[in-house]
Amino acid sequence: MKLGVVMDPIDSINFKKDSTLAMMIEAQERNHEIIYMTSNSLFINSGEASAISSRVEVRNDPSDWFSLGDREEIKLSDLDAILMRQDPPFNSDYIYNTYILEMASRSGVNVFNNPKSLRDCNEKVFATEFPQCCTKHLVSSEKSLLIDFVNNYEDTVIKPLDGMGGASIFRIKKSDPNLNVILETVTKHFSEKVMIQEYIAEISEGDKRILVINGKPMDAAIARIPAEGELRGNLAAGASAVAKSLSERDLWICNEVGPSLVEKGLVLVGLDIIGDFLTEINVTSPTCFKEYKELCDIDVAKKFIDSVEELTS
């Protein structure tokens, strides 16, 4: 296979934790040719989806993990498959790249995940399509509705719709003296919609990440345990990772969500579950491959590249 990978600059990744690198190493071991592209290298030239790219060789070496060939212009239609691994924020540049990748998919290239679904399925809002799996929640920028939600549920968590890594997440309790300033900050003075959810006390036991490939969950979860004094179960915010077995409720949530993921061409997804509740459906660049390998002895990269090969053949 000639496999394109759209990702953030490879020289700045965190070698110890980067899931995209794990995918690339697995693909290279199977003799696939890997074509490296950054998010700003995609473009349309007279109706042809194209990119400035380089052949890349990757290594499992923390001091020397890649070598790049010469930069050259390619047509995306010359590739067999493309992995879209650009990290959020999900801004206008990200959206424009999904248009370019959708053009490539119309020419016969398999893009993972489906670029239209990446555009349609906001990672916070998409979870609300499965209210039976979620705690009480509200998506709004209306001040009165947000205040009413806090007053009704007394202990809540509010977050922007386009962030990642736990950025700008606040816990707000009823009668919090900082209520108004927090709402103003997160909504940018009530001009942007946010998600507010009832606080789930089981966050102390970890924010479980369950990776799902082609609708099927891995056989375990990675629970991100918040650091002392922290609310956020994000590795980027200092949480520690532990392996956990899947509960009956976890499996039920996976079964509720899985068919929709397959239908939408979302081949690799990370479900975030706190306690008994689905909180997010991560579709852009789900991580934790290395944590699964180290803590659960589950080789997600192998399973994912198996799926890419099967769907591209």
Q: What is the pLDDT of residues 33-57, one digit of tens each?
A: 999 999 999 999 999 999 999 999 9
| Residue whose C-alpha is closest to residue 274's, from 217, 224, 200 | 200
The answer to whether residue 159 is catalytic is yes
Q: Is 47 helix (H, G, I), strand (E, B) or coil?
A: coil
Cα–Cα distances (Å) from 121 to 42, 116, 140, 265, 271, in that order, read 21, 9, 17, 11, 13
Q: Which CATH class is domain 2-114?
A: alpha beta
**Cis bond leading into 115, ω under 30°?**
no
Predicted model pTM: 0.94
Q: Catalytic: which of 85, 97, 124, 234?
A: 124
Q: Is 58 helix (H, G, I), strand (E, B) or coil?
A: strand
Instruction: Give 72's strand partners.
Output: 53
Q: Catalytic: which of 208, 232, 264, 290?
A: 232
The answer to whether residue 124 is catalytic is yes
Residues forming CATH 3.30.1490.20 domain(s) in the chain:
136-199
Half-sphere exposure of 63 (CA within 13 A, CB side): 0
Please check whether residue 5 is in contact with residue 82, taking contact to mean a CB–CB distance below 8 angstroms. Answer: yes
Please check whether residue 219 is in contact with residue 246, taking contact to mean a CB–CB distance below 8 angstroms. Answer: yes
Question: Under CATH, what is the fold of the domain 136-199?
Answer: Dna Ligase; domain 1 (3.30.1490)
Please check whether residue 62 is in contact with residue 43, taking contact to mean a CB–CB distance below 8 angstroms. Answer: no
Question: What's the length of the chain?
Answer: 313
Q: Catalytic: which of 123, 162, 207, 272?
A: 272
> Given this model, what pLDDT does residue 313 score?
86
The answer to whether residue 114 is catalytic is no
The answer to whether residue 303 is catalytic is no
Q: Catalytic: which of 123, 162, 280, 291?
A: 280
Question: How confident is the model over 234-277, as pLDDT tens digits?
Answer: 777 678 999 999 999 999 999 999 999 999 999 999 999 999 99
The answer to whether residue 119 is catalytic is no
Can you read off the two tokens belonging to residue 262?
A: 């397959």
Maximum Cα–Cα distance for the chain, whole Å?
A: 60
Cα–Cα distances (Å) from 276 to 135, 200, 233, 292, in that order, read 8, 9, 15, 21
Instruction: Give 54's strand partners.
Output: 36
Residue ranges, the chain, pLDDT below 70: 164-166, 233, 237
Q: Catalytic: which of 85, 224, 264, 290?
A: 224
**Helices assigned H by DSSP within the chain:** 19-29, 92-106, 115-120, 143-153, 179-187, 248-263, 289-291, 300-312
Query: What is the residue type of 233?
Result: G
**Helices assigned H by DSSP within 196-240:** none
The answer to whether residue 249 is catalytic is no
The answer to whether residue 14 is catalytic is no
Can you read off the two tokens belonging to residue 254?
A: 């996976």
Rounded to whole angstroms, how far apart are CA atoms 98 and 111?
Answer: 10
Eight-class DSSP state of 30: T
Instruction: Give 269's strand partners.
Output: 212
Please check whether residue 272 is in contact with residue 208, taking contact to mean a CB–CB distance below 8 angstroms. Answer: yes
Q: Catalytic: which of 209, 264, 290, 303?
A: 209
> Given this model, what pLDDT does residue 165 score?
67
Q: Catalytic: which of 159, 208, 264, 303?
A: 159
Residues forming CATH 3.30.470.20 domain(s) in the chain:
202-299
Question: Under CATH, what is the fold of the domain 202-299?
Answer: D-amino Acid Aminotransferase; Chain A, domain 1 (3.30.470)
> Given this model, what pLDDT does residue 162 score?
83
The answer to whether residue 280 is catalytic is yes
Q: Each residue of 66-82: b (16+ CB within 10 Å) or e?
A: beeeeeeebebeebbbb
Residues forming CATH 3.40.50.20 domain(s) in the chain:
2-114
Q: Catalytic: which of 97, 122, 282, 290?
A: 282
Question: What is the phi/psi pair of residue 298, to 5°?
Answer: -115, 120
